[in-house]
Structure 1
Amino acid sequence: MQQLNKEVMFMATYNLFISHSWAYTDSYEKVCSLLDNQVTANGFNYKNYSVPKNDPINDAANDKQLRSAIEAQMRPASSVIILAGVYATYSKWINIEIEIAKALGKKIIAVQPWDSERTSSVVKNAADHIVGWNGSSIVKAICG
């Protein structure tokens, strides 16, 4: 496997928005763990702009307020990471997050679930990069 360019990673902190459904918290936490392991192993630096579970935007009064809050949260991110599980195809909000990411000119990285035969074509078709469930692959897509 190709070595990560550590010089590039030490020079920058990558702002990330990790799209997720709170119904699939485990997958979100595993992606964060993969990224955290890259911080330790390769000096990769990132800031997570994802919507935390206890964030007040989850209490938005309507879809318009929620969309606006997600857009504000995503705006500082350079890349949007979307888990490409099949559930994503049926998620209204993931489709809206893709739309917002494209409108803001964000790089979209689709992460295919580990050992999954079915993935979201909606997410993969929108992605600039499609990577496997591997921290170094995700980081290469972010940095590349």
Structure 2
Amino acid sequence: MRLLSVLALTGLLVACDTVGPEPVGPPGNVVVDLGYEDGPFLRVRTVDLYGCLGYRIEADADRGDGELEIALGDVLPPAGDVCATAEGPAEVAIDLPRDIGGAAYRVFLSQGQQTDEYEIRLGFAGLGIREVRTSFSSLAE
């Protein structure tokens, strides 16, 4: 009977491992920075660290005339069954236009009912970002 119970429990655990990734929940406080790799991008990372590398933040991005609206969703675990055993933040990277002629580009970052605002300048002089209004996010140091 004991062997049967162990086998049943083992089967249950294996079955649970094959189920798709479940959301962890909202990202909470995040940090924002700019990067450049095959074009400029805005990266949003959680302040909290997770037990595996590869956690990611769901995000929907809408581009308008001189604006980018980003709605953050849940934090999702790494895809697949592989877990790199190192701590790290969840993150998402959103591509930005290659050149907006040095004009200010507004970014609205929302999570639930909160919306933070940033101003980005992209041009031949480089990349720049500044906070306009923030409540749950901040610039990375």
* TM-score by shorter chain over 0.5: no
TM-score by length of 1: 0.28
Greater Rg, structure 1 or structure 2?
2
The structure where helix makes up a greater share of residues is: 1
